[in-house]
Amino acid sequence: MQNGHKQNGASPKLSVLASSRDPLSGLWQPSLQLKHLFYGEKCVKTYLLNVLPASSSKVFIITGRSLATNTPLIQLLESLLGEHHAATFSGIRQHGPSTDVDAALEAVLKDDSIDTLLSVGGGSPIDSAKTIAYRVSEQQGKWLHHITIPTTLSAAECTAGGGYTKPDGVKVGFMAPEMAVKSIFYDPCFASCTPKKLWLTTGIRAMDHAVECFYHPCGSEIWKAQSLWAARTLFECLPRARDAHPDDYGVTTRLQLAAFLSSGLKGSNVKGGMGLSHSLGHALGSPYGLPHGVTSCFTLGRVVKLKARSSKTNAQEIARLLPALGGQSSGDDVKDAEEVGDRILRLVDALGISPGTLTERMVSRDEIPVIAGRACGGNTEGPMYEDVLRLVESLF
């Protein structure tokens, strides 16, 4: 089918197969871009030089100021790279403002010897590096090799998309298969420098990925099977990380792998964004300066409860998550699906990362229709908009 074989004179479209509400019918189309996924203590030190594309490679490091100035990590990488290190840009701020991305791009374009980008940190430097690779391809006709060392659980390394934030706070995103990261290093030594609150909130972001695939129209059974493991591991290990981070490297590595499995194997045929929790996260994040881990703490549990009541199919799919979150099926899908939402909300509270209210975050109630409209893609009419409007109101 994928190779264009015909039946009855017609070639079936892959988009028809992409929707897989039936667990025994669907399409999972793997990405072929990722070449290496290393995990475990000191994997960066052991293998980083082995994944450079050439013996003469020059590496441009992209990171944030905190990692560069408050930890030894960037200096360690520069030393490890030695003659392969071209330069370091440490000015990427939260949500990747366009001015930061432009400044880093300018530095890359000045050095023709650079063939590799090494992003270090959370979603902002990783997405910024992907955006820079895209722009270099536009201007020079070549794609830079992208290696990443994530230090949060946001899973930005799992997508073939990036973006930047415009001066008005609106995020601009775009995707291309070539934007995908080639090598990922999940090294708990690097994650040990991540503040505990950031680590835990981005863990809820990973849970956001794992949960939203269950009501995504292109959510294949392969992705859901991986997400069930991810959700179970996140639910088990995040409370342990609350007490043990950053010292327990075993818990750290399990959480890193859970973050990857929540999003890294969703398949290249997934169309559109994730789901309502992610849409609300984008509507709340860069416009109001909220980290995406925090936005997921606000939205995920509430969105799950809304989705549980929205359709029988959604309730049936979400209810499959209940055993992974420590619950037992009652046989009532709506009740079980709502319990999934409640357990997520209780997890946020138990981790000590409750975000409070949007009022406490200095967001005006006048913004309620603006936030709801952004989350609904500009559509401000109909039952879904009214449901989202009420959900946003509940955050104040």
Phi, psi of 252 (to 5 degrees): -60, -45
Confidence label for 22 from pLDDT (cuts 50, 70 and 90): low
Confidence label for 98 from pLDDT (cuts 50, 70 and 90): confident
- Helices 292-310 and 333-350, axial angle in degrees (round to 10): 160
Q: Name the more confident of 41 and 96.
A: 41
pLDDT digits (tens, 9 = 90+) for 126-174: 999 999 999 999 999 999 999 999 999 999 999 888 777 777 767 777 7
Pick the CATH number of 36-191 from 3.40.50.1970, 3.30.360.10, 3.30.750.24, 3.60.21.10: 3.40.50.1970
Instruction: Give the angle subtended at the CA of 134 by the CAs of 131 and 135, to the nearest 5°.
Output: 90
Which residues, in sequence order, are CB contacts of 45 under 8 Å at separation 6+?
80
Q: Which of 117, 125, 146, 132 is nearest to 67 (CA)?
A: 125
Q: What is the mean pLDDT of the segment spanning 44-48?
A: 95
Tokens of 239: 């409370």
Which residues, in sequence order, are CB contacts of 75 under 8 Å at separation 6+?
none
What's 362's DSSP letter? T
Query: Which residue spans of the chain are classified as CATH 3.40.50.1970?
Result: 36-191
pLDDT number for residue 59? 98
pLDDT digits (tens, 9 = 90+) for 194-230: 999 999 999 999 999 999 999 998 888 889 999 999 9
User: What's the distance, CA 281 to chain centroid?
Assistant: 11
Q: What is the mean pLDDT of the segment spanning 337-365?
A: 97
The full length of the chain comes to: 396
- Helix, strand, coil: what percent of the chain each, to 5? 55, 10, 35
Query: Which residue spans of the chain are classified as CATH 1.20.1090.10?
Result: 196-393
Identify the CATH homologous superfamily for domain 196-393: Dehydroquinate synthase-like - alpha domain (1.20.1090.10)
How far, CA to CA in Å, does 264 sit from each of 157, 210, 267, 288, 373?
8, 10, 8, 28, 29
